[in-house]
Amino acid sequence: MSGITLVDYDPAWPLEFQRESDRIQRAMGTSALRIEHVGSTAVPGLRAKPVIDIQVSVASLKPLNAHTRRLGTIGYTFIPLPVPDDPAIEHADDVYPFYQKPSTWPATHHVHLCAEGSVQEKNHIVFRDFLKDHPDQLAVYQSLKAQLAAEHDGRTLASRERYSLGKTDFVTATISRALAAGYDI
């Protein structure tokens, strides 16, 4: 089992996203309203875990099992996530359900499902776009990711969650800056 490894940006990642996006669209049909390449592999020049992060917007997350079944036909496994520290959210899967392929770590693809028009849909896209346009922020983020990868071995879901949560303050601040600067979807 390997830990969290960051690699140099690979110009093949957008092509891999497009291939997988086409497969997801075929599997989900009209329920997939928008498919976006998000996460670090979507930002040219950013070192990243070699995992293609894909955000799929749907009209409704319910019934979740219908989406899970469709994604399962192309090799994605639903991974329940811990409940965030937000009393308004009863289950993490009510907000941003997570799937990975293959089902065991390390994954090659992640799918984040979100409701069309939701905060989650907007935040992932404006964060990506802001980093693309601001190399200074990209450099800060890259340094933070390297530090967190060194601190968290990534061998368990809990360790991978700590790696992700360690980026929260930076991501939140960057999204705020992006929204204040007029970034939108």
Q: What is the DSSP string of 71-95?
A: HHTTT-EE---PPPS-TT-S-GGGT
16-25, 59-68, 83-92, 176-185: segment of lowest average pLDDT: 83-92
Q: Mean pLDDT, to the nearest integer, of 28-34?
A: 97
Hey, what CATH topology would domain 13-180 get?
Answer: Beta Polymerase; domain 2 (3.30.460)
Distances in Å between the alpha carbon of 32 and those of 55, 60, 125, 140? 10, 10, 16, 33
Question: Taking the CA of residue 46 as centre, how many other CA atoms within 13 Å lie in the half-sphere pointing to its CB?
Answer: 31
Helix residue spans in the chain (DSSP H):
13-28, 64-72, 119-133, 135-151, 157-165, 168-180
Q: Do the Cβ atoms of 142 and 9 come closer than 8 Å?
A: no
Distant-in-sequence, close-in-space partners of 105: CB < 8 Å, separation ≥ 6: 1, 2, 154, 155, 160
* Average pLDDT value over all residues in the chain: 90
What pTM was computed for the model?
0.89
Q: How high is the pLDDT of residue 169? A: 95
Q: Mean pLDDT, to the nearest integer, of 170-175?
A: 96
Q: Do the Cβ atoms of 152 and 160 come closer than 8 Å?
A: yes
Phi then psi for 183, rounded to 5 degrees?
A: -65, 140
Predicted confidence band of residue 91 (pLDDT cuts 50, 70, 90): very low
Asked whether residue 2 carries a pLDDT value surpassing 60, the answer given is no
Q: How many Å apart are CA 74 and CA 130, to the nearest integer? A: 31
Q: How high is the pLDDT of residue 159? A: 85
Q: Mean pLDDT, to the nearest integer, of 72-82?
A: 89
Predicted confidence band of residue 104 (pLDDT cuts 50, 70, 90): confident
Kind of pairing, strands 109-115 and 52-58? parallel
pLDDT in tens, 138-169: 999 999 999 999 898 777 878 888 898 899 99
Distance of CA 51 to the CA centre of its chain: 9
Asked whether residue 24 carries a pLDDT value surpassing 70, the answer given is yes
